[in-house]
Amino acid sequence: MRWKAGFLIKKYKRTILIWAVLGSLAVLPTYGLCREPDEDNEKEERPAYAKETAVIAVSHENGFQLSEKAKMTLGLGFLKLDGSPPWKIPAESLVVLQDHAGVYRLRDGWFKLVQVDVIGRSASELTIQCPDLKSPDAIVTQHVAHLRVADIGTSEEFQQEHVD
C-alpha cells in the first residue's frame, strides 16, 4: 500500500499540530525569545514568556501557566479532587520518572508536577496520597505526556543547556 502525505496529514492533523506547538516550546529558550527577569525584581520566579507562546509564566514555587489556547490545543483532561485523601485517579494520569511517581496538579491556573505515593492499583485506576494535593485541586488526566514536554521546556536546566 502506498502512503500519501495528504492522507497522513489529514489522519494525524491534531497529533502533528500538538507536536508542532510543543516542539516550539523547546526552541524558544534557544533563540532567546524568553524575557529576562528584571534586576530589581529578586523574586524566585523564572523568566516570563511572551503572550503569544503556550507557556505564559513560570515560577519555581507554583510551576508554570499555559495560555487558554494551548490548553485547548493540547486537549488536556482534568479530574477535580473532592473530599480528603486517598484519591482514586485514572492510571494514565501517572508520570513515572526514574524511581518516582507523580501527577500534574492544576491549582489557581498553575500546573506543577507533584510526587505521589501509589497505595493501590487496578487495571485502570490508582489510589494515591500526596501532601501537596488538596481539594479543590485538579489532576491532569489526558495528554499528560504533552504537558510533560511543556514542563521540560520551562526547566532552568533545559534553558541553560540550550542557550548560547
Structural domains of the chain sorted by starting position, each given as residue range(s) with its CATH number in brackets:
1-74+148-164 (no CATH), 77-142 (2.40.420.20)
Q: Specify the higher pLDDT residue, 161 or 17.
A: 17
Tell me the percentage of the chain whose pLDDT exceeds 70: 62
Place of cell 507536536: 19
More confident residue, 2 or 136: 136
Candidate from 3-17, 54-68, 118-132, 136-150 with smallest mean pLDDT: 3-17
Which three cell numbers mark 8?
497522513
Q: CA dihedral defined by 110, 112, 116, 120, rounded to 10 degrees? A: 60
The Cα–Cα gap between 88 and 112 comes to: 19
Question: What pLDDT, on the 0 to 100 scale, is given for residue 55?
Answer: 85
The angle at the Cα of 60, spanning 56 to 95, to the nearest 5 degrees, equals: 85
Q: What is the pLDDT of residue 59?
A: 87
pLDDT at 20: 64
Q: How far is CA 60 from CA 55, 120, 137, 164, in A?
A: 14, 30, 18, 23
Contact 148, 157 (CB under 8 A): no
Does residue 103 have a pLDDT over 60?
A: yes
Question: Which residues, 6 or more positions from 118, have their beta carbon under 8 angstroms from its beta carbon?
Answer: 94, 101, 126, 127, 128
Using alpha carbons, list the distances in angstroms from residue 71 to 7, 23, 46, 75, 97: 27, 15, 21, 6, 23
What's the grid cell of residue 85?
A: 485523601
Least-confidence region, from 3-7, 10-14, 101-105:
3-7
Among 23-27, 108-112, 138-142, which is the least confidently predicted range?
Answer: 23-27
Q: For the whole model, what pTM was predicted?
A: 0.64
- pLDDT of 150 reads 82
Distance CA 131, CA 116 (A): 8
Nearest alpha carbon to residue 154 among 56, 39, 76, 41: 56
The whole-angstrom separation of Cα 66 and Cα 6 is 31
